[in-house]
Structure 1
Amino acid sequence: MRRARSDEAAAVAALVEAAFARHVAAVGRRPAPMDDDHAARITAGEQYVRDAEDGTPALASSIVLVDNGDHLVVNNVAARPDLQGQGLGRDLLAFAEDEARRRGFAEIRLHTNAAMADNILMYPKLGYTETGRETRSGFHRVLFIKPLT
């Protein structure tokens, strides 16, 4: 994993677009990460990426980590569609948890769209606990937290 470079905003946008396309029907519109300002995330130092290992120039995966003062927030997790199901999401979350520990945080938080049933099932298996639900910007979100010990 590495921080994304400023010249990679379009590549990050393409990765996120492809990764979240499968969720459009369930959500009923484009999921929020598809319309995020990836250049701004890169400039803020929040966007991390993993290069593809298959010799293609496309990125394999990405994650957005936001420092919220007393905890780290996972804002977006994306893996190239042809690589999904191979553990990249789990690797990204492990990286996020390690980064949160490195920064001295005792917990990490994330949210997912309530219509993304696979995420809602996966996060508890990785030690995350649902803490609530909210609607923000018209999106119904499920909130999760994981203590880091």
Structure 2
Amino acid sequence: MKIGDGGATFRPARAGDAAAIARLVGDAYRHYVPRIGAEPGPMRDDYAEVVARGGVWVAELDDQLVGLLVLVTASDHVLVENVAVAPERQGHGLGRQLLDFAEERAREAGAGEIRLYTHERMTENLAIYAERGYRETHRDTMRGLHRVHLAKPLG
């Protein structure tokens, strides 16, 4: 399916996408390593496993992966486990479109809420999520990373 004005195609990930997804995630998150003093959680994931589990969507433009969305559906909510945009496509609205799609999928699943988390030092993400109506629910440390958990009711 086409998303946005940029002509990107949005589709479920396939097993053969795992290596390209891992590269995209590395490129998208690498600049956070010095800020947080460690690799962010998404850089540590095994994307062959993540894709096999399901709920992974990719955005393609000219046969190149430019965005990623990992969704986990629970009985009462959908968790955005990862949203990533290739550095050269950041600032063009693709991240916003991926979040819109996540919220649409959550509504279709009958979820009353969508949730996500980010590292406490990824302050620009916290600002973006707050603008979109996400509110902090709690903070914790997972895999040695200090995370802020957020949720947004779906009406």
* TM-score calculated relative to the size of structure 2: 0.91
Deviations 1:89-120 (A, max 9, x none): 11111000000001110100000000101001
Amino acid at match of 1:80: A
Q: CA deviation at 1:44?
A: 1.5
| Structural RMSD (CA) | 0.9
Deviations 1:26-79 (A, max 9, x none): 111110101112111211112110112xx3x42010010011222100001100
Identity of aligned residues (%): 45
Q: For the residues of structure 2 that align with 1:123 and 1:68, how far apart are their CA atoms?
A: 21
**Residue aligned with 1:69, SS:** coil
Q: Contact 1:51 / 1:61 at 8 angstroms: preserved in 2?
A: yes
Deviations 1:114-141 (A, max 9, x none): 0101001110101101111111111000
Write the mapping of 1:24-35 to structure 2, written as runs, cut at 5 A: 24-35=33-44
Which consecutive unaligned segments of at least 5 residues does structure 1 have? none
Structure 1's consecutive aligned runs of 4 or more residues displaced over 4 angstroms after TM superposition are none
Q: Count residues in correspondence.
A: 146
Q: For the residues of structure 2 that align with 1:26 and 1:69, how far apart are their CA atoms?
A: 35
1:46 equivalent in structure 2:
55
1:37 equivalent in structure 2:
46
Amino acid at match of 2:98: L
1:9 equivalent in structure 2:
18
**Residue aligned with 1:65, SS:** strand
Q: Contact 1:3 / 1:42 at 8 angstroms: preserved in 2?
A: no
Amino acid at match of 1:82: E
Is 2:66 the partner of 1:66?
no
**Residue aligned with 2:28, SS:** helix
Q: For the residues of structure 1 that align with 2:110 and 2:144, how far apart are their CA atoms?
A: 33
Q: For the residues of structure 2 that align with 1:61 and 1:43, how far apart are their CA atoms?
A: 18
2:28 equivalent in structure 1:
19
* TM-score calculated relative to the size of structure 1: 0.95
Q: For the residues of structure 2 that align with 1:47 and 1:26, how far apart are their CA atoms?
A: 27
Q: For the residues of structure 1 that align with 2:89 and 2:153, how far apart are their CA atoms?
A: 28
